[in-house]
Structure 1
Amino acid sequence: MNTVDRNPALVVMNDSVRHGARQAMFGFLHLALIAPSIYLVLGLPLVLRQHGWSGTEIGFFQLAGLPAVFKFMLAAPVERMRWAAGHYKIWAIGVCVAYAVLLLAIGQQDLAVDGGRLFLMALGAGLMATWADIPVNALAIKVLPSSERMRAGGVRSAAVFLGAIIGGGLMLLVHERWGWQAPFVVMTIPILIGIGLLVVFKEPATELPAASTQGITARTALLAGYFKQPGANAWTLLLLSYFPLVGAAWIYLKPLLLDHGFAANQVAWVVGVLGSAVGALASIGTARLIVSIGVSRALVLFAGLNIVALGGLALLAWSGAGQIAFVVGAIALACTMGATSALAFGLMMGFTRPQYQAADYGMQASLFTLSRLLVLPLAGVMLDRFGYAGMLSSLTLAMLGVFALAMRQRHHIDRAVRDHQVSDANAFIKCKSNG
């Protein structure tokens, strides 16, 4: 053991293996939490329709995803109810257990007579999925050094794309083969495995905040404290606009292909499987690129690629191109969206304060989700009024504004990230010594 301590190469190798194992664990946890949420929102409407639910009933059922907007509110009790040892781990285990129980309970419902109860359970499951995401991400931020943040953002983004394949596709096949209850049983198993991983994982001890930050004063510290960070205002403004535009195009990509001659099963394979797989690979691959070229260049580069992808799809819609061209356009959009979301998740992890990882991440996640929900209806209005070409052209023009904003704010954000890395490295060393 002393030989290892004296050999820098072995120390670096051991750290690399440890960080890789932790990245894999958190990636698995993210996937376990995300896949059921996607099934409830994207996969289940098809099942409900098969069981005779009306369009209005299915539309109201989408409100089960509403808790994602209120992540900051859910983060507050995570920060206030603290334990010196295993703080975030205890929260994650408790909420994941409730999530698993609710998923199994949903599988026991009768769709013909228990519609109201099913919605309440789905709403509860959405709440638990949103809540569990907070301590899991906070734990990742706490135990991973700042040099691993972009990689963690890529893993988090890849989990979303893989969750779309599982929750939006494979679980529908499981339902068709084994019935209503089977998908919920299958999706609960990874959550239970994740709980087991959390139980054996050792979270470093945390110094509890001073008593003056408790109670009423804590609310000010949680909310205003985030925005007092250097670069937080610049990053938050960019966060609200950087991803939602390309995300809106992705949401409307399926109807775009369907209305341009693709069969429903072709759309499922091109967007749901191929596109999601490409997005996952792009998320992982670009994480290393971001570290290599730096945050300032990555912000501008990915904004530019988003303009190319959106503008390319707009040209295809204007010209009425063939199916092969649309497949290429869909893959290009998946690549840029994977890169953009990896960068966004990485920076969200970077703009968190020691001892307030859950609150700061929850604040950004709420803003991230809210901006997406606001852009989607506007994009739908543009689609109805101007068609696909008009909608995509409008998104492209808006992305030009985001590109200009990224050019203006990039150095400020980059400096703030580097300053955070220095302070986080010191906090990480202290946290590691406590553990």
Structure 2
Amino acid sequence: MTKPRLLGLQLLFGWMNLVLAIPSIYLMFGMPLVMRQHGWSGTEIGLFQLAALPAIFKFLFAVPVQRVRLGRGHFAHWLLLLSAAMLALYWLIGRQNLIDDRVLLFALTFAISIAATWADIPLNALAVQWLPRSEQLRAGSIRSAALFLGAIVGGGIMIVVQSRMGWQVPFWIMGAGLLAGCLPFALLRSRAALPERAGDVPIPGVVADWAGFFNQPGARQWTLMLLTSFPFIGAVWLYLKPLMLDMGMPLERVAFIVGIVGGVTGALFSLIGGRLVPVLGTARAIVLYLLAALCSLALLTVTVWVKLGTGWLIASAICVAASMGAVSALMFGLTMFFTRRQRNASDYGLQTTLFTAARMAVPIAAGVLLDRLDYNGMLAGLTLGVLVAFGLAWRVRGKVGESAQSVLANETD
């Protein structure tokens, strides 16, 4: 495959990851600001976050995507079908301002969350199917960068658009972006055809599919990394805004530093991190990226504990964003490496469910630490968590690196 064609596919997958991420970020992380202005209680805003629950069940959504064939352009047809459902939901939620209709707004947000979570499965199954293994680390870094940019767009820009141009306009923009991303897949769907299964070969059961994932060389060691490498630093990023506010920093400055500068830094280091993995080697990159995360959290913890001042706080926040970008790029790239081509959807769905469950559980524990031990205790606990993740990564780096190298070698052969 030529380099321009590969670049075009990478940008296409990056764009679709971006437009699938924006609606959930806008509705669940950006909208609470508007909700508060319209009299929603803290409990109501907190319960609204339950609309993110479908992400935990991605492994179940992957089953029909893997097994129910929709013609020869199997995964592409699934992606187009689910994107059409999202467009219909955008029309429903954008018809009128629902900020005072709590139940209907939650129901439609929950439905959009299901559709976006489900559509992510055929999209990234196509990335595994279409892209050479040598390009999948880059695809992971682009996906990570897209999520950071999605946080900027969904958590900031769309709120400004709604404030100035009305309730409907963000949904029109999101719908147009999704439609623009779907058109190339409609044209390229013939590439998504999978080889027909021989009639005498039985289709493995769902449980056998999942067991087969863990039976891959290095898969159990990789699962430990998947569960531990990102959630602790991700939880720190979640609590950075309230931390800075409580330390006396103005709201607008916090939004600019964390929301914009931090988001751009994370996106940039996602791309840099993905590019460096082939140079460093997977095993060395695993250790160095987690060491960077450990150092950035230690710096933030010392800054808050010793009260070094605003400058150090900003610098440590940027370091957290940079290391988080590099780690997330590595995680997404290796997720593709451990996704078998014959089980694109089921393997990807299983891994992202494990990742999401850990990513949602750690912030809850961090919140308990915050309430009982203040920021010093919370940051110390999360830094200890990254230290444990670093220790695990040090022990399994060789096995995970060998497995990734074996995947590349098998494709080359």
TM-score, length basis structure 2: 0.96
CA contact (8 A) 1:354 1:424 kept: no
Aligned residue in 2 for 1:256: 243
Range 396-405 or range 134-143, more displaced: 396-405
Matched, 1:349 2:336: yes
Matched, 1:391 2:348: no
Alignment of 1:329-408 (within 5 A): 329-408=316-395
Alignment of 1:94-109 (within 5 A): 94-109=81-96
Equivalent of 1:207, from 185, 195, 201? Answer: 195
* Alpha-carbon distance in structure 2 between the residues aligned to 1:58 and 1:246: 24
Equivalent residue pairs, number: 411
Matched, 1:231 2:223: no
Shift of 1:28: 0.6
* Alpha-carbon distance in structure 2 between the residues aligned to 1:65 and 1:133: 14
Equivalent of 2:167, from 180, 184, 199? Answer: 180
Q: Secondary structure at the match of 1:395?
A: helix
Amino acid at match of 2:185: L
Matched, 1:150 2:137: yes
Aligned residue in 2 for 1:432: none
CA contact (8 A) 1:279 1:337 kept: yes
TM-score, length basis structure 1: 0.92
Aligned residue in 2 for 1:271: 258
Shift of 1:321: 2.0
* Alpha-carbon distance in structure 2 between the residues aligned to 1:250 and 1:299: 20
Shift of 1:423: 3.3
* Alpha-carbon distance in structure 1 between the residues aligned to 2:196 and 2:207: 17
* Alpha-carbon distance in structure 2 between the residues aligned to 1:58 and 1:276: 24
CA contact (8 A) 2:74 2:192 kept: no
Q: Secondary structure at the match of 2:72?
A: coil
Aligned residue in 1 for 2:106: 119
CA contact (8 A) 1:84 1:207 kept: no
Aligned residue in 2 for 1:161: 148
* Alpha-carbon distance in structure 2 between the residues aligned to 1:265 and 1:207: 54
Amino acid at match of 2:131: L
The CA deviation string for residues 67-125 of structure 1, in whole angstroms up to 9 with x for no partner, is 01111100000011125621111010110110121122111244365321221111000
Alignment of 1:285-300 (within 5 A): 285-300=272-287
* Alpha-carbon distance in structure 1 between the residues aligned to 2:99 and 2:73: 43
Shift of 1:355: 2.0
Shift of 1:129: 0.5
Range 49-58 or range 260-269, more displaced: 49-58
The CA deviation string for residues 259-286 of structure 1, in whole angstroms up to 9 with x for no partner, is 1111111111000000000000000111
CA contact (8 A) 1:158 1:283 kept: yes
* Alpha-carbon distance in structure 2 between the residues aligned to 1:76 and 1:162: 30
Equivalent of 2:117, from 130, 138, 155? Answer: 130
Distance 1:323 1:19, change over 3 A: same
CA contact (8 A) 1:209 1:355 kept: no
Q: Secondary structure at the match of 1:82?
A: coil
Shift of 1:52: 2.1
What root-mean-square deviation, in Å, do the aligned CA atoms of Structure 1 and Structure 2 show? 1.4
Structure 2, unaligned stretches of length 5 or more? none
Range 183-192 or range 75-84, more displaced: 75-84
Range 198-207 or range 92-101, more displaced: 198-207
* Alpha-carbon distance in structure 2 between the residues aligned to 1:423 and 1:103: 43
Amino acid at match of 2:161: V
Over 6 Å off, 4+ runs: none
Range 306-315 or range 191-200, more displaced: 191-200
Equivalent of 2:207, from 209, 220, 227? Answer: 220
CA contact (8 A) 1:352 1:360 kept: yes
The CA deviation string for residues 294-325 of structure 1, in whole angstroms up to 9 with x for no partner, is 11001100111111000000001001122111
Q: Secondary structure at the match of 2:205?
A: helix
The CA deviation string for residues 13-68 of structure 1, in whole angstroms up to 9 with x for no partner, is x6111111110111011111111110011011111222222222221111111101
* Alpha-carbon distance in structure 1 between the residues aligned to 2:19 and 2:313: 32
Aligned residue in 2 for 1:41: 28
Aligned residue in 1 for 2:2: 15
Amino acid at match of 1:357: N
* Alpha-carbon distance in structure 1 between the residues aligned to 2:202 and 2:79: 23
Aligned residue in 2 for 1:26: 13
* Alpha-carbon distance in structure 2 between the residues aligned to 1:263 and 1:103: 34
Aligned residue in 1 for 2:310: 323
Alignment of 1:302-313 (within 5 A): 302-313=289-300
* Alpha-carbon distance in structure 1 between the residues aligned to 2:381 and 2:145: 28
Aligned residue in 2 for 1:85: 72
* Alpha-carbon distance in structure 2 between the residues aligned to 1:112 and 1:385: 34
Shift of 1:397: 1.7
Range 196-205 or range 251-260, more displaced: 196-205
Q: Secondary structure at the match of 1:230?
A: coil
Shift of 1:291: 1.1
